[in-house]
Chains A and B, each alone.
Chain A
Amino acid sequence: MDTQGHAAQLGTREVAALVREDSFHKSLYTDPELFDLEMRNIYGRAWIYVGHESQVPEVGNYHATRLGDQDVIMVRGTDRKINVLYNRCAHKGLKLVHDGSGSTGKFFRCPYHAWTFKLDGSHLSAPLRNAYQGTCFDPKHPDFSLRSVARVDSYRGFVFARQSDTGPELREFLGGAISFIDNMCDRAPEGEVEVAGGVFRVLMRSNWKMMYENVIDSMHPLATHESTFNAARQKAEELNARPLELNIMASLGAPYEFWEQLELKAYDNGHGSMQDIFGGGNLAEDPVASALYEALSQVHGPDRAQQIMDTNIHNSVLYGSGMLQTTYQQFRVLRPLSVDRTLLEVYVFRLKGAPKEVFRRAISFANVSFSPASNVMPDDVDFYRRCQEGNMADGGDWINLHRYAGQDREERGARIAATGTSELLMRNQYQAWKSFMSPQAS
């Protein structure tokens, strides 16, 4: 392996050497061969989020998306179970349905030659069947059916799929990160959430791993978002009030001491979380939060309601899938497209049984924070792109992650950072990357 960001031969040891305890080689952002290997070794082996069960409520409802570099269809079967199939007709290979949501009825019918398939992918019919007599055409042979992704499982409605037959089960893979999904769902008085209110789809011209770093990077807002928090703070001073929309932007300008005291928790497989930064649990100041607390109290009693409302996570990373924001019910899903292109999908969740204003608040949060027209995101997205460009220059080979390295502590199955400005969560992501990419060496 040379140091110019091009891996000629990617042996396990060479790949393992690209990640150190406190830094990683820039080729992880720039090398197309490494990207291809990631698609096999990470997206081909890990549990990756496909979609939410609420997107396919009825038999025959489907949602087509990407699982790594593979087009797949999540579909509700006739037995009401969720199937995940590769989006390829078994005849000529036509991409069977377009990306996004729809309904196919009782079976899939390829529009090219009218081959049909059951909702579990098995072959149903092909026209003028007699023509296949005396050939090895066999409707029971898997070659003539839609292929299923190896494993599908879900947790509280969040559907994940794994392309390999072997590996840990979903709950084991998520480990402590399952608490992020729990916190979002527990906020619903009925204990369930549903996708609602549309989706933002944003193209980012950068490697998929950059955003996973940025969303738990507490050292960037003060520099990156200066124009945004300046404008919002001036406005809040003029109004002598900090409504939600302004608070989201103004909070980014909190001093370093604020970020230092945040709790960062890292779990196996690259998952991790950063504590809330918007005061989302402050019942006294947020009428929407207190309305939700009241609704939860009626179901669970005040102690449990308080416990749920006190668990406020800003961003949490489900590595390989996306970033949950549980306090405001957002899930930003990352779909890698190529070494320097990433699709971001922003989903908003409705808490079943919650007061109407809770969902309205989630919509406002999405508009202000995660819209491609937000005043916050453009600077982040621009900087990912500039990192992509900058790392093509021969100005150095390593990305450093040294902040508070070696000072983490273990606590009840999580690694806790020394302070909120530690780069623990990034180091944790790259150690997971190394384990996936070079399983024998790690």
Chain B
Amino acid sequence: MLSNDTLDLSVDCLKEARLEAGDYDALCQFIYGEARLLDARKFEDWLGLWAEDGMYWVPSDPDQVEPYEHISYFWEDRHLRDVRVRRLLDPTAWSQQPSTYTARLVGGVSVDGVDHDGHLVASAAFQITEFHRDETRHLAGRYTFKLRQKDGAWKIALKRVDLANAGGLQENFEVFL
């Protein structure tokens, strides 16, 4: 199986993060930029934001602590993210005719700390408006990122998307949240 079960997913017991002047702005720009790539459907560029072992996770329960013995809407490593992108861009993705378009508002970026592995943990509130075939859906919740530096840039080791309605009745999710 593809799932990476070595990544520390917890956000408990974080050490205080000490950011240099200007680092907070750069962090915000990274998080806004990630959202913007998804809204612009620049999925291949978005894949490039990830650490090699990074995991994309959308729990199906508001208090979910792990993705191994509990189902998740999304639990995707780099290969599964890549498969999703390929499908989204494939002209035979019938339910994506026409494509889903999104616009998201991300704000309240907070620096939560540093985890055991040295990842910077940051979180932000989001609202996503999804538009598909004359229908508009609103999703909202909180993003939690674990980020690590590589070659002077942030890479995503974890993006956890906690939907406000995670425990609710859902319709298809096709694009990344």
Query: Is residue A311 contacting chain B, with contact meaning CB distance below 8 A?
Result: no
- Given A197-B71, A201-B168, A235-B86: A224 and B79 within 8 A (CB)? no
A100 to chain B, nearest CB (A): 9
Bound: A342/B79 CA distance, A: 32
Query: Is residue A41 contacting chain B, with contact meaning CB distance below 8 A?
Result: no
Bound: A99/B162 CA distance, A: 22
Q: Which of B3, B60, B61 has the most CB of A within 10 A?
A: B60
* Cβ contacts A223-248/B at 8 Å (1 or 0 each): 01011101110110001000111100
Bound: A176/B70 CA distance, A: 32
- Given A197-B70, A363-B70, A381-B95: A227 and B171 within 8 A (CB)? no
B120 to chain A, nearest CB (A): 27
* Contact indicator B93/A227 (Cβ below 8 Å): yes
* Contact indicator B69/A249 (Cβ below 8 Å): no
B4 to chain A, nearest CB (A): 12
CB-contact partner of B169 in A235, A343, A367, A382, under 8 A: A343
CB-contact partner of A363 in B61, B69, B92, B96, under 8 A: B69
Q: Which of A227, A232, A244, A348 has the most CB of B within 10 A?
A: A227
Write the chain A residue with the least CB distance to B5: A360
Cβ–Cβ < 8 Å partners of B170 in chain A: 200-203, 372
Bound: A361/B61 CA distance, A: 19
Q: Which residues of chain B in 39-78 are interfacial with respect to chain A, using CB atoms and an 8 Å cutoff?
A: 58, 60-61, 64, 67-75
* Contact indicator B172/A198 (Cβ below 8 Å): no
* Contact indicator A202/B169 (Cβ below 8 Å): yes
CB-contact partner of B171 in A203, A246, A368, under 8 A: A203
Query: Is residue B80 contacting chain A, with contact meaning CB distance below 8 A?
Result: yes
Query: Is residue A154 contacting chain B, with contact meaning CB distance below 8 A?
Result: no
* Contact indicator A231/B174 (Cβ below 8 Å): no
Bound: A343/B173 CA distance, A: 16
Write the chain B residue with the least CB distance to A228: B87
* Cβ contacts A375-395/B at 8 Å (1 or 0 each): 101110111000000000000
* Contact indicator B171/A198 (Cβ below 8 Å): no
* A residues contacting the other copy or chain, number (CB 8 A): 44
Cβ–Cβ < 8 Å partners of B68 in chain A: 360, 363
Q: Which of A249, A373, A378 has the most CB of B within 10 A?
A: A373
Query: Is residue B82 contacting chain A, with contact meaning CB distance below 8 A?
Result: yes
* Contact indicator B83/A235 (Cβ below 8 Å): yes
* Contact indicator A360/B71 (Cβ below 8 Å): no
Query: Is residue B90 contacting chain A, with contact meaning CB distance below 8 A?
Result: yes
Cβ–Cβ < 8 Å partners of A373 in chain B: 58, 73-74, 172-174
Query: Is residue A103 contacting chain B, with contact meaning CB distance below 8 A?
Result: no
Q: Which residues of chain B in 70-126 are interfacial with respect to chain A, using CB atoms and an 8 Å cutoff?
A: 70-75, 79-80, 82-84, 86-87, 90-96
Q: Which residues of chain A in 346-377 are interfacial with respect to chain B, using CB atoms and an 8 Å cutoff?
A: 346, 348, 359-361, 363-364, 366-368, 371-373, 375, 377
**Interface of chain B, main secondary structure:** loop
* Contact indicator A230/B173 (Cβ below 8 Å): no
A389 to chain B, nearest CB (A): 11
Query: Is residue B1 contacting chain A, with contact meaning CB distance below 8 A?
Result: yes
B85 to chain A, nearest CB (A): 8
* Contact indicator A231/B70 (Cβ below 8 Å): no
* Contact indicator B73/A227 (Cβ below 8 Å): no
Q: Which residues of chain B in 148-177 are interfacial with respect to chain A, using CB atoms and an 8 Å cutoff?
A: 168-174
CB-contact partner of A197 in B69, B74, B79, B95, under 8 A: B69
* Contact indicator A379/B73 (Cβ below 8 Å): no
CB-contact partner of A366 in B3, B71, B169, under 8 A: B71
Query: Is residue B2 contacting chain A, with contact meaning CB distance below 8 A?
Result: yes
Bound: A200/B68 CA distance, A: 15
* Contact indicator A372/B86 (Cβ below 8 Å): no
Bound: A202/B165 CA distance, A: 13
Query: Is residue A196 contacting chain B, with contact meaning CB distance below 8 A?
Result: yes
Write the chain A residue with the least CB distance to B171: A203
Cβ–Cβ < 8 Å partners of A200 in chain B: 60, 71, 73, 170
* Contact indicator B92/A378 (Cβ below 8 Å): no
* Contact indicator B94/A198 (Cβ below 8 Å): no
Cβ–Cβ < 8 Å partners of A234 in chain B: 86
A421 to chain B, nearest CB (A): 21
* Contact indicator A246/B71 (Cβ below 8 Å): no
Cβ–Cβ < 8 Å partners of A231 in chain B: 83-84, 86-87, 90
A278 to chain B, nearest CB (A): 13
* Contact indicator A360/B79 (Cβ below 8 Å): no
Cβ–Cβ < 8 Å partners of B69 in chain A: 196-197, 359-360, 363
- Given A228-B87, A371-B73: A360 and B1 within 8 A (CB)? yes
* Contact indicator A372/B71 (Cβ below 8 Å): no
- Chain A to chain B contacts (Cβ below 8 Å), 7 pairs: A198-B60, A201-B168, A231-B83, A235-B86, A244-B2, A373-B73, A373-B172
6 nearest interchain CB pairs? A382-B95, A231-B86, A227-B90, A373-B173, A227-B93, A226-B92
Binding site for A on B (CB under 8 A): 1-3, 58, 60-61, 64, 67-75, 79-80, 82-84, 86-87, 90-96, 168-174
